[in-house]
Amino acid sequence: MPQMKVLLADDHPIVLMGVREIIERDPRFKVVGEALSPSELIEKISLLRPDVIITDYNMPGDEHYGDGSRLVEYLRRHFPEPRIIVLTVISNPQVLTWLYELGISGVISKSSGLEQILVALDAFYREGHYQQDMPDETSSDALDDVAKSLSQLTVKEFEVLRLFASGMAVGEIAQSLNRSIKTISTLKISAMRKLDVDNDQALLILCLKANLFT
């Protein structure tokens, strides 16, 4: 069987270097390219035609394809053939379940070790798929108080909160997600109520404490 072609995307060069080093330990897999932004990723998918895409969930600053849910939806709609692995520190069970339902092949936590990437690639090579358990919402009992609160958010609320924490204003989030300002404001207010915060400063402090948006 020929080498499996892997394309990497992350806005942190150190992460890219670490992931490449892990993958290239096994001669069955070849990193054919790296991207630092969603636009660069889309361009290189068309050019390199990878078998597997390993992408960060949070790559801010791209006006064309966005990141997070918007980017993953675009990848699944326009590039159905490559398997997709999402790297993230997000633990929100609703977001993770939505990603699997969308058709990605796996979610690998940056905080739990990137060695799992080789496990997933080995499964692709041997069996054609990577069997990963669906997230169990009851497992949130093991999370700290902040993570428990975040786990209550819907996918849309979480996405608005994630973009807000990255420094975007409500109007910019509305433009990025192609929604009205009123809709984004409503989602932000709903998220704040669930998180029991009553101002933007408290909201940002909670996001920093959770360390979920890097």
The string of pLDDT tens digits covering residues 114-155 is 778 888 888 888 877 776 654 444 444 444 666 677 778 888
Do 25 and 112 sit in the same domain of this protein? Answer: yes
* Residues listed for the chain: 214
The pLDDT of residue 48 is 95
For residues 170 and 127, the model is more confident at 170
pLDDT, residue 138, reads 42
Specify the higher pLDDT residue, 91 or 203: 203
pLDDT digits (tens, 9 = 90+) for 70-124: 889 999 999 999 999 998 877 777 788 888 888 888 888 877 667 788 888 888 8
Q: Tell me which residue range forms the domain holding 89.
A: 4-127
The string of pLDDT tens digits covering residues 36-70 is: 999 999 999 999 999 999 999 888 767 777 778 88
CATH number, domain containing residue 49: 3.40.50.2300
Distance CA 161, CA 197 (A): 12
Number of domains in the chain: 2
Do residues 194 and 203 lie in contact, with contact meaning Cβ atoms separated by under 8 Å?
no
Kindly report the CATH number assigned to the domain that includes residue 170.
1.10.10.10
Q: In the sheet where 4-9 sits, what is the strand order?
A: 29-35, 4-9, 52-56, 83-88, 106-109
The whole-angstrom separation of Cα 49 and Cα 5 is 8
In a domain? residue 133: no
Both 48 and 83 in one domain: the answer is yes
pTM flag (> 0.85): no
61/95 same-domain check: yes
Same domain, 69 and 112: yes
Last residue of a domain, one of 81, 103, 127: 127
